[in-house]
Amino acid sequence: MQGQKLELAIDSIRLRYGSQALTRAGELPPPQPWASGTPIDSLTGIGGLPRGRLTLFTGTGTCGKLTLALALLAKASQEFAHAIVIDGGGFDLSALLPFSCELGALTVVRAPAPEIAGEAAASLVRAGAGFLLLLRDVPQHWLGPLESGASRSGTVVVGVVEAPDRALAHASSFSLGFSRQEWVWERGLLVGLRVSARCVKNRVAPPLGGTELVIRYPLGTQTPADLRQGITEVPLHVEEEEGRPRKSAAV
C-alpha cells in the first residue's frame, strides 16, 4: 500500500511539472569522465573526474589538495571556454604562474558571503561553465540547484575544503581525502611533498582505495628558514609514487 502511494505521488509530480522534474537514481545516465591527466583519474573508476557531479578534495594543512586543484584549473582553462573560480576573497592569480593557464578563459568570482557563492555557483553551472573550482562554503539550500545545474550542463565541479559539513559531503559524488606523509628535501632545499590520496566516497564507480603522490615544487624555492615562514603550494608536476599504492576502505 505504501509503495502504491509513493508511485502515485511520483506520477503526480511528473504529470504536473514534467517528466524530468523527478528522476530515480537508477534512471540517471552514467557520468562522462573528464580526463585530468593526473593519477587521480585512476581512482575515480571511470578514467577521469565525473562531469555534472561534485568532486571534493579534503584534508587539513598543507596536504596538496589545493595544488592539485590549481593544476586541474589550469588544464581546464585550456580545454573549456569558461573555467570559473568561486572564492571568498583570498585567491591569488599568481598561484597559477607555475602552470600553463589560459587566462582568457578564466573567471574569478569574489564571493564574500556563502549566500553569494551559492547563487553564483548554481547560476554559472546552469549557464554551461566547463569547469568550476569552489574554494568556499555553499549554503545547503544552494547545493540542490548546483547539482541539478551541473548535471544538465556537464560542468566539472571541484570543491576544496578542509572538512566538509554534512550537507556538502552528502552532495558530493566523488571525494578524496589528502594527508601529507613527509616533506621531500634535496641538498637542504624543500623540493616537494609526499602525500596520500584516499578515496573516501565514490558514487560513480566502485571505490578504488588510495595511492601515494609526489608533488614537486620549483627547484630552489624553499630553504629551512623559508619553511618557518609557511609553505606555498606551487608545484611543477604531480606524479604517482611507484610501487606504493594503498587500498583503503570506502566510507
pLDDT confidence tier of residue 17, bands split at 50, 70 and 90? low
Q: Rounded distance, CA 223 to CA 225, Å? A: 5
CATH superfamily entry for domain 29-240? P-loop containing nucleotide triphosphate hydrolases (3.40.50.300)
Q: Where are the domains of the chain?
A: 29-240
193-219 pLDDT per residue, tens: 899 999 999 999 887 788 888 887 754
User: What global pTM score does this model have?
Assistant: 0.78
Task: Give the residue, 244 or 40, on which the prediction is more confident.
Answer: 40
- Please report the pLDDT score of residue 233 as a whole number: 32
The pLDDT of 98-126, averaged and rounded, is: 90
- Please report the pLDDT score of residue 247 as a whole number: 37
Helix locations, 41-90, DSSP H: 41-44, 65-79
pLDDT confidence tier of residue 181, bands split at 50, 70 and 90? very high
Helices (H) and strands (E) in the chain, counts: 7, 11
The pLDDT of 129-148, averaged and rounded, is: 93
139-176 pLDDT per residue, tens: 999 999 999 999 999 999 999 999 999 999 999 999 99
45, 87, 119 from 149: Cα distances, Å: 23, 19, 12
